[in-house]
Structure 1
């Protein structure tokens, strides 16, 4: 059956009659574009004033002058964590560690057999972290409180016993130790997790999302095969492989871009994920200059791989057909990652790239390295960056400089660190503020068109995938402060409606 999307507008066309288009779709691909007033191949039957009509072997959906654009991608998501976080204790607005502990205690007293919280910010909450403080609030109920960046966890004594670890003096775990505990805590009933992921996927589709790159810290191919078989079929997914699973991936013949069997063509093998440094909020992002008031071996953050080791790991993956995606936030980590890309001579992405020296911005494009960035972080990290990266924030989230240097930019959310909502990312990149303050380093703002371009993979053209978002407003002709609340009327993946609110 041929699907016709009729009476659509292209953003920026101001809605003149001559700019309305009809789009024909067969087998998930655009087969014709007809501009009304020029060549029109679709004649609506008299009954077609309804939004959706089946007419013979054709289905017609009248978009009634709404705007249509390529569907949106979120290029950095932790889908399982995002799905679970919405059911965890929200600590995002806590301002002191005492408040964090108090809220965990309230949840414990409500009868939870285990308390899992998320969202507190180590660099922003006041007070001294201690095991005694958390134990006093939570008693014998295992408690795990993860920071907003997922790089730090505050665990009570009962929690350490549950995961068979010796308690640290403060109860704090960071980086790999935090990740390891996070994986243990994330083990929930398979069916329940799949239901949560399905709900999160459908919410994403309702925001115009057609695809995600899933960086969940697990061997995810089997999970997504199971989810698609169970009806979670509203998103395209590229599922990353972590270094700990590299041998298995190579043995299995997995290559980036390959379709995973029994997923309706929706799930593909993603990149090889390598975590090079930490995060800004946990003061573990690797920088050339030390953090204020931090001494010792971590004064400049952490660097998980020396250059020879990093290049060898990337080279091993690349030789097997796996494209590297290197987590690098601090300026030294970004430079280090670029050194490795140049040594291996492979393409790939640097994930986050939050602080980048100007001389390193010029290295991305010649090396074939894209910047996979999360504009929502610039709003959340604005104040902490001014404190921890004082004097260097002109190079923080340097989106305009990246674009001017010819860097391919891909937007994501890093959900659950920020919400899985590309419209929020687009607004953040355009306005560079999340409150009533003026833009932070306004020279780095992108245009709306540029920000959308970093959020899509396809075009509206013949032979392109029929992955679309249908909007109630023209994003190129509306107040930029309203972009984050864009109303999405419909979403299509391969010509199949995954969200419909016409």
Structure 2
């Protein structure tokens, strides 16, 4: 990734920093006699990969929950819930995740059905994209939701054809339930954060960009755990936009902290997601009259972006639909004086569907497009079904790059797997799970994909002086593959991960 020195045979490091990189003999001469050698048996070493969009604590929590992503029928889901109910103490919440909403919206998963198998314990099952959830009646009652409840701002309590609550919650309606779930203790959160970070390291990740939307206690848990010397990843941690005033009161600002744990931006949500048709589109979804919805409305963004910037927090905004992306760009276009005080640009997270007229605006306004290619692999069928006449606007990675935009990649875990190689190949081949192609003209080159995880990822958070390249003086952070991933061999695997010169994950044979 270093244009000045793109390849080397060996790298030397000590004290967590890179000392030298280049031909074997030159590196050996630079470090002198007595240096310990590691033979990687022909493996390929890259700069440590960033995952530029993770929900760190939620990832750790969901490692402990029911994983329902591979459940193909209602019976298997209900069996898993019953089995989990046997395992948890009576009265505790039964939680699961991973159900794709397009497959499950009309499959009979309702509060009534859940009541029949678990009548006296609250149940919460999140959709794969976390923009929908299914709950039973006791969960609704604990949250104070009854048949007379009005939809919360930015959310929907779904009702059946007779107008009765179905148990399906959309967008901010989910938080009405989750806020009554007892939070883990700080000791538990500390351990959960370590488990999440270790799983990321096992996937080859050395730096995580945390996109906050959880309770503030979760953020404190991450801050505490990430400060441990043995924490497996570096963290750039965003703050929920609802906490701007609290962060400002104690002087928290983007870039503060260390290169182990650093304050990120203020996280906003301009819209929802494609699956539940809550991503905000310029035109209705195919065969419907709905255009989705704004979550943090344009008026709210126009009011709170300046508050964030004045507090020293760069805006980082979830926007999936083309209307949402345009709305965010419109607000940013009026904030040049405030943005000039920052060393890093504002970000749009996802940028999944962008109108042609807005492509150049990312570059012109210096807005980073933080994209999750693995979603492309999961979304091909949904995009073609719901946005039939504008498939060409989906995941416009090549167009954004060609226009001079800064593109970075992540996974959105636990919404999708933190599998680097799956995301990498999705960006290059644009292939769905069943082999179908989504807009081949928007494909990018393997080296461009690697840059989006490394040097460009580091630049997006102002760490281009210490991360993203294998260069003397930079962090000794490495993602190691058993073969060169740029050659796109489907058998490629993660060989190991090193952070600050220490193995955080490795094969037993290393």
Q: TM-score range by the shorter chain?
A: 0.7 to 0.9
Question: Where in structure 2 are the equivalents of 1:173-188 lying within 5 Å?
Answer: 173-185=169-181, 187-188=183-184
1:20-39 Cα distance to aligned partner (Å, 9 max, x none): 53323344332333423667
Partner of 1:163: 143
> Judging changes above 3 Å, is the alpha-carbon distance between structure 1 residues 312 and 62 closer, same or farther for their aligned structure 2 residues?
same
Determine whether 1:332 maps to 2:323. yes
Question: Where in structure 2 are the equivalents of 1:39-78 lying within 5 Å?
Answer: 40-42=28-30, 55=34, 58-78=35-55
Conserved 8 A contact 1:10-1:67: no
Deviation at 1:472, TM superposition (A): 1.9
CA distance in 1, matches of 2:286, 2:487: 44
CA distance in 1, matches of 2:173, 2:406: 33
Partner of 1:3: none
1:177-236 Cα distance to aligned partner (Å, 9 max, x none): 213433544723443343333223122212221110112423355313421456651110
CA distance in 2, matches of 1:138, 1:415: 29
> Judging changes above 3 Å, is the alpha-carbon distance between structure 1 residues 202 and 404 closer, same or farther for their aligned structure 2 residues?
same
> Judging changes above 3 Å, is the alpha-carbon distance between structure 1 residues 500 and 103 closer, same or farther for their aligned structure 2 residues?
closer
CA distance in 2, matches of 1:399, 1:430: 10
CA distance in 2, matches of 1:464, 1:106: 49
> Judging changes above 3 Å, is the alpha-carbon distance between structure 1 residues 341 and 381 closer, same or farther for their aligned structure 2 residues?
same
TM-score where L is the length of structure 1: 0.85
CA distance in 2, matches of 1:193, 1:309: 31
Deviation at 1:471, TM superposition (A): 2.4
Deviation at 1:459, TM superposition (A): 1.2
Deviation at 1:319, TM superposition (A): 1.9
Deviation at 1:289, TM superposition (A): 1.4
Partner of 2:305: 314
Unaligned 5+ residue runs, structure 1?
Answer: 1-8, 46-54
The structure 1 residue matched to 2:332, chosen from 303, 318, 341, is: 341
- Larger deviation: 378-387 or 267-276? 378-387
Partner of 1:488: 495
> Judging changes above 3 Å, is the alpha-carbon distance between structure 1 residues 69 and 140 closer, same or farther for their aligned structure 2 residues?
same
CA distance in 1, matches of 2:84, 2:9: 54
> Judging changes above 3 Å, is the alpha-carbon distance between structure 1 residues 238 and 426 closer, same or farther for their aligned structure 2 residues?
same
CA distance in 2, matches of 1:180, 1:455: 35
Q: Tell me the SS of whatever aligns to 2:38.
A: strand
Determine whether 1:84 maps to 2:75. no
CA distance in 2, matches of 1:201, 1:111: 25
Determine whether 1:475 maps to 2:472. no
Deviation at 1:367, TM superposition (A): 0.5
Unaligned 5+ residue runs, structure 2?
Answer: 148-156, 158-164, 340-344, 459-467
CA distance in 2, matches of 1:450, 1:228: 30
> Judging changes above 3 Å, is the alpha-carbon distance between structure 1 residues 82 and 459 closer, same or farther for their aligned structure 2 residues?
same
CA distance in 1, matches of 2:393, 2:89: 44
Determine whether 1:289 maps to 2:283. yes
Conserved 8 A contact 1:206-1:488: no
Deviation at 1:105, TM superposition (A): 4.0
TM-score where L is the length of structure 2: 0.84
> Judging changes above 3 Å, is the alpha-carbon distance between structure 1 residues 356 and 186 closer, same or farther for their aligned structure 2 residues?
farther
CA distance in 1, matches of 2:136, 2:384: 32
The structure 1 residue matched to 2:190, chosen from 194, 216, 236, is: 194
- Larger deviation: 276-285 or 228-237? 228-237
CA distance in 2, matches of 1:357, 1:460: 37
Partner of 2:462: none
Q: Tell me the SS of whatever aligns to 1:41.
A: helix
Deviation at 1:286, TM superposition (A): 0.3
Tell me the number of residue pairs that the alignment of Structure 1 and Structure 2 aligns.
Answer: 467
> Judging changes above 3 Å, is the alpha-carbon distance between structure 1 residues 462 and 231 closer, same or farther for their aligned structure 2 residues?
closer
Deviation at 1:358, TM superposition (A): 1.3
- Larger deviation: 411-420 or 97-106? 97-106
The structure 1 residue matched to 2:430, chosen from 409, 429, 432, is: 432
* Divergent runs of 4+, >6 A: none
